[in-house]
Amino acid sequence: MTLSLVHVQPTTGTVAALTATGGVAVGGYVHHAWRGIGACATQGLATNPWYPDTLRVVLSDSGSAGQALSQVVSADPGASRRQCLVMDRQGRAVVHSGTDNLPVVAAACRPTVAAAGNMLAGSEVIDALLWGFLEQACINAEAAWREVEPPHYRDDYEALLPEMLVAALEAALEVGGDGRGTRSAALRVESFCAAPIDLRVDWSETPAAELRTLIERVREPTFAGFLASLPLR
């Protein structure tokens, strides 16, 4: 019932997450990003809002994404109803997609970036989401997509992560998005060199467009100056 993308840059510790769904207020329940630690998206037929607590602890203790995911799934009697995407600080990603999730269920993982979804209009939604991000952020998008090389990111890409996330979402929505229609979307970017950006559209007929408008507001000089004045740690 949701599509998500997570990204971790191991060199700088920057972490980003994007989520969209056909339901209300996706940003309050699904994705979590922790700079220098990792990220997750907990979604599916029914999300488990307690997964992030354990995932963050395991990832903070230098556990791998696989170890963190295994711990939450094994302790959850409702794991068959969950889809959970986890990425650790080294950019390693794993996905759990329970058997009770409604089709179309899909996931695609590359080093440092991964996407997953359920109740999608088609598996091409996740392909479009991941490719949309790689195409903008990487200098070797084609090779990274074909898994011939790991992604190599453009020197200045982190400054434009919010815009890149929205463009990737737009590409996914163009091929169908959530099978019910997409009504809420959110993104978060966590960095050691800038204040967090946490934007949410809780209900809209055009959530991607409204996210883009919010980014434009954030980029306006007055608010950009306010963000620049905040302490970084």
3-class SS string, 54-94: HHHHHHHCCCCHHHHHHHHHHCCCCHHHEEEEEEECCCCEE
The total of other beta-carbon atoms located within 10 Å of residue 226's CB is: 12
What is the model's pLDDT at position 1? 72
Taking the C-alpha atoms of residue 16 and residue 166, their distance in angstroms, rounded to an integer, is 12
What is the model's pLDDT at position 124? 97
pLDDT digits (tens, 9 = 90+) for 83-136: 999 999 999 999 999 999 999 999 999 999 999 999 999 999 999 999 999 999
This prediction's pTM: 0.97
Share of the chain above pLDDT 70, in %: 100
Give the type of residue at 14. Answer: T
H-helix or E-strand containing 3?
strand 2-8
Q: What is the 3-state secondary structure (H, E, C) of 154-175?
A: CCCHHHHHHHHHHHHHHHHHHC
Q: What is the mean pLDDT of each run of 10 residues along the chain (233 residues)?
A: 95 98 96 98 96 98 97 98 98 98 98 98 97 98 98 97 98 91 96 97 97 98 96 86
Which structural domains are found in the chain, ordered by start?
A: 2-228 (3.60.20.10)
